[in-house]
Amino acid sequence: MKGRSHLIPSLFAAICLLAALLDWPYGYYVFLRIVVCIAALFVIATAYESRQTWAIWLWGTIAVLFNPIIKIPLSRETWQPIDLVCAVLFVIGAIIIKRTKQIIESKNDDFYERLKKYQEREKYLDNLEKQCDQLDAEFDEIERRAKMHEKQK
């Protein structure tokens, strides 16, 4: 379910938004506000994980528009196209965010693989440098002994 935490709420919200085009009692529209707001928050969380600011702003706007606490009073004729557009956005947006997140994760995996190779090379070079330092120290010791031996002659 990794990377798809927003799909089920998005699809459920889209279905509820499309159903809102029919005549329902007032309670359904209260339920709709709660569902859409929560689904938008799921999408925002997923978009935030994959650093997709456009989606954060878009679904943030949807969450504010449908929030059940501070209601925005609009007529039924105004809400119907909004419901339809938001339903389409939930379906298309959920797919785009999922694919974009997968691309970002695969790039991150590539980055971490290259980083690991780089760190291994760094370790290897550090070991070589230590060996060179040891050889330099041994060479210096040999030179020092040779000079002392020459002085003794």
Mean pLDDT of 6-21: 90
What is the structure's pLDDT at 1?
43
**Element (H or E) spanning 22, and its range?**
none
Average pLDDT, the chain: 85
pLDDT > 90 in the chain, percent: 37
In the chain, where are the structural domains located?
7-108
Q: Which residues in 56-77 are b (16+ Cβ under 10 Å) and which e?
A: bebbbebbebbbeeeeeeeeee
pLDDT > 70 in the chain, percent: 87
Look up the pTM and report it: 0.64
pLDDT tens readout for residues 79-135: 999 999 999 999 988 778 766 766 666 666 666 777 777 788 888 888 888 888 888
Q: Has residue 76 got a pLDDT over 90? A: no
